[in-house]
Amino acid sequence: MIPYMASSFNNLGDFLPMSLTLEQVRRVAHLARIEISDVEARSTLGQLNEIFGLIEEMQAVDTQGIEPMAHAQDVAQRLRADVVSESDQLAQRAAFQAIAPETEAGLYLVPKVIE
Amino acid sequence: MIEHSLQAMAAALANKEISSVELTQLYLERIARHNSQLNAYITVDPARSLAQADAADARLARGEGGPLTGIPIAHKDIFCASGWLTTCGSKMLSNFVSPYDAAVIARFHAAGAVMLGKTNMDEFAMGSSNETSFYGPVHNPWDDSRVPGGSSGGSAASVAARLAPAATGTDTGGSIRQPAALCNLTGMKPTYGVISRYGMIAFASSLDQAGPLGRSAADCAILLNAMAGFDERDSTSLDRPAEDFSREINATSTAKPLAGLKIGLPEEFFAGGCSPEVMQLVEAAIGEYRQLGAETVSIRLPSMGLSVAAYYVIAPAEASSNLARFDGVRYGYRAPDYQDLNDMYCKSRAQGFGDEVKRRILIGTYVLSHGYYDAYYLQAQRIRRLIANDFASAFQKCDVIIGPTSPSTAFQLGEKAADPVQMYLSDIYTIAVNLAGLPGISIPCGFAGGLPAGLQLIGDYFTEARLLNIAHRYQQANAWHLQRPGGFD
């Protein structure tokens, strides 16, 4: 998973996005860790605004007292015992790391993060 | 042989009229001959398929065959299959050879079915036309200048052109039913939780559901029997007693097999927005249902008009979270050049994802971000509840809801590709069913200008066997579903 920094969730701007700004598109792209050029950000802005135009229909609906729905059957999350369930773990690791871009001695390699 | 039902194919295999190797070879040859015109398959691996067919023949010879033993099935490239390239239609996974089997793949394998290949699809199942695939668009076998629908477009095109006897698909907002409608097939999305999502690459987890695409409701029932079942590895899988989804189809028929059936016709489905040609065919199909003994009752789904808006919050929100795993570290695409770790993430994702996927990740990231979560995600989930409540009230008055699957027949390649909102609106009749988690099926109901149209049947939770039977009785009374496109001899 990409480690989002909690602080980066703040300061997207305070106004409701009937229309987004170019700066907001850049910030969201940064949060999503997707490199975006100025040209792409401009064309994306227009498309996102059209889509948000569609989404905004929701805001007119009074949903006071309505419970949000996440699963059709409203089932509770099942739990399991916190124990190792896989056998042959070294072979499993080798199989899963065989498709990684770069590994060494059972570890995934990434560019240096601490100087 | 290629027009045999799955049941007839199984009988031919059991009677040794044909072996699984021969049957598989027949389809592999058809794929070799016609796939370049359709681009329906991303991966075909004849040696692997034939080895599975060989094993199926041995099993049949031991007298241990089941309804699908030896029958080749095409799988949407969203299902991880051990040793097979599993791309999900994306450059991001263009080098991903799965180290394990999805539950659906393992279940077909256990049934002795042969894996015929991996079918093309919209990238990460995000699309309604199969044009967002990294592997290029799929062409509709009925008119190759038109889309097959999406996201399970390759699965639909392969079955329609008889390049597979049947196929699997997934349906998050209509991705099985809409391509079924546009390609003259029967396609079912079961109740959410009936088929395990384990190993099915996630798009919007609270909506994603696998299902069958076939040439008839009877075939789909057989496929669903193999696919359904509890799986502890999927936290939303429902633990229910096993059932035979063919049981109502196999019951004895009468002159009025649907006597007493109450069909609900939602005003919202018939209030315009659908092309007149498609609506005419839907009305004719409803007339045929009355002939079969059903009665119709008008119902209302007042919140249905909000389903596209709610969907385009919930699905991108869940997608932005699910697709965070594609970081170029553990598997998948990594950019060749980068400065540091963050740059590696940003470049790998920018280069690995296509435009529609990026768009949805950005929407999702935005609606989940600080200050907007309540206004968007929670509001969408509340509207989702209103939509589910609408259906619950409707099913007090009727047994099944009927309307169009898609507002039009297959559109031209490129026609909507540059206009995301227009593309999203092609799913207006299917999305509400995913939001409510209900089962839905699309069946062929005739042709307009030479292109097939689909009739959508929506049932209450866990009424798959009944829905399949309601579809089957219609298919016993006409031959729309038996029509196949010309040019694929």
Sign, CA dihedral B190-B192-B194-B200, equals: positive
Question: In the predicted model, is pLDDT for residue A65 greater than 70?
Answer: yes
Question: So what's the pLDDT on residue A14?
Answer: 40
- Which of B271, B424, B144, B389 minimizes the C-alpha distance to A51? B424
Average pLDDT over residues B261-277: 94
Is B30 within a domain?
A: yes
Average pLDDT, chain B: 97
Number of Cβ atoms within 10 Å of the Cβ of B478: 14
In this structure, what token pair is assigned to residue B364? 């999702």
Our answer to whether residue B256 is catalytic in this structure is no
pLDDT tens digits for range B334-346: 999 999 999 999 9
Distances (CA, A) of B269 to B264, B275, B477: 11, 12, 24
Is B256 within a domain?
A: no
Question: In the predicted model, is pLDDT for residue B172 greater than 50?
Answer: yes
Cβ-based contacts of B332 with chain A (< 8 Å): 101
Interchain CB contact of B330 with A (< 8 Å): yes
Give the number of residues written for chain A. 115
Q: Give me the residue spans of the domains in chain A.
A: 1-61
Our answer to whether residue B347 is catalytic in this structure is no
pLDDT tens digits for range B4-41: 999 999 999 999 999 999 999 999 999 999 999 999 99
**Burial class (CB within 10 angstroms; exposed 0-12, middle 13-18, buried 19+) of A97:** middle
Contact B184, B478 (CB under 8 A): no
Whichever domain contains B112, its CATH number is 3.90.1300.10
Q: Who has greater pLDDT, A80 or B160?
A: B160
Is B360 within a domain?
A: no
Average pLDDT over residues A22-37: 96
Interchain CB contact of B306 with A (< 8 Å): yes
pLDDT tens digits for range B271-324: 888 999 999 999 999 999 999 999 999 999 999 999 999 999 999 999 999 999
Question: So what's the pLDDT on residue B387?
Answer: 97
Cβ-based contacts of B366 with chain A (< 8 Å): 12, 17, 20, 24, 28, 48
Cβ-based contacts of A115 with chain B (< 8 Å): none
Question: So what's the pLDDT on residue A12?
Answer: 41
- State how far the Cα of A58 lies from the Cα of A36, in Å rounded to an integer: 29
Residue of B175, B196, B307, B442 with catalytic role: B175
Produce one character per residue of B269-286: b if its CB has 16 or more CB atoms within 10 Å, e if not: bbeeebeebbbebbeebb
ipTM value:
0.92
% of chain B surpassing 90 pLDDT: 96
Average pLDDT over residues B47-70: 98
Average pLDDT over residues B244-257: 90
Do A72 and B191 count as a contact with CB atoms less than 8 A apart?
Answer: yes
Number of Cβ atoms within 10 Å of the Cβ of B239: 11
Q: Hey, which residues does B400 pair with through a beta bridge?
A: B263, B459
Q: Which long-range contacts (CB under 8 A, 24 or more apart) does B423-428 make?
A: B423/B127, B423/B128, B423/B129, B424/A51, B424/A54, B424/B128, B424/B308, B424/B312, B425/B308, B426/B128, B426/B129, B426/B178, B427/B128, B427/B173, B427/B174, B427/B178, B427/B308, B427/B311, B428/B273, B428/B307, B428/B308
Average pLDDT over residues B142-147: 98
Average pLDDT over residues B53-60: 98
- State how far the Cα of B260 lies from the Cα of B273, in Å rounded to an integer: 30
Cβ-based contacts of A48 with chain B (< 8 Å): 359, 362-363, 366
How far, rounded to the nearest angstrom, does the alpha carbon of residue B437 sit from its chain's CA centroid?
14
Segments forming the whole domain that contains residue B182: 6-245+477-482
- State how far the Cα of B48 lies from the Cα of B120, in Å rounded to an integer: 19
- State how far the Cα of B480 lies from the Cα of B288, in Å rounded to an integer: 12
- State how far the Cα of B287 lies from the Cα of B310, in Å rounded to an integer: 33
Number of Cβ atoms within 10 Å of the Cβ of A26: 15
Question: In the predicted model, is pLDDT for residue A1 greater than 60?
Answer: no
Closest in A48, A59, A72 to B362, CB measured? A48
- Which of B157, B329, B470 minimizes the C-alpha distance to A102? B329
Number of domains in chain B: 1
Maximum CA pair distance of chain A?
A: 57
Query: Residue B110 carries which side chain, given as an amino acid letter?
Result: A
Under 8 Å CB pairs connecting chains A and B tally to 181
Question: So what's the pLDDT on residue A18?
Answer: 58
Write phi, then psi, for B143 (nearest 5 degrees): -170, 105
Looking at CA atoms only, how far is residue B403 from chain A in angstroms? 22
Strands annotated E in chain A: 103-104, 107-108
Q: Would you tell me which residues 23-52 of chain A have a C-beta closer than 8 angstroms to some C-beta of chain B? A: 24-25, 28-36, 44, 47-48, 50-52
Distances (CA, A) of B176 to B26, B150, B152, B208, B251: 26, 7, 6, 11, 27
Produce one character per residue of B109-139: b if its CB has 16 or more CB atoms within 10 Å, e if not: bebbbbbbbbbbbbbbbbbbbbbbbbbebbb
Produce one character per residue of B427-452: b if its CB has 16 or more CB atoms within 10 Å, e if not: bbbbbbbbbbbbbbbbbbbbbbeebb
pLDDT tens digits for range A46-56: 999 999 999 99
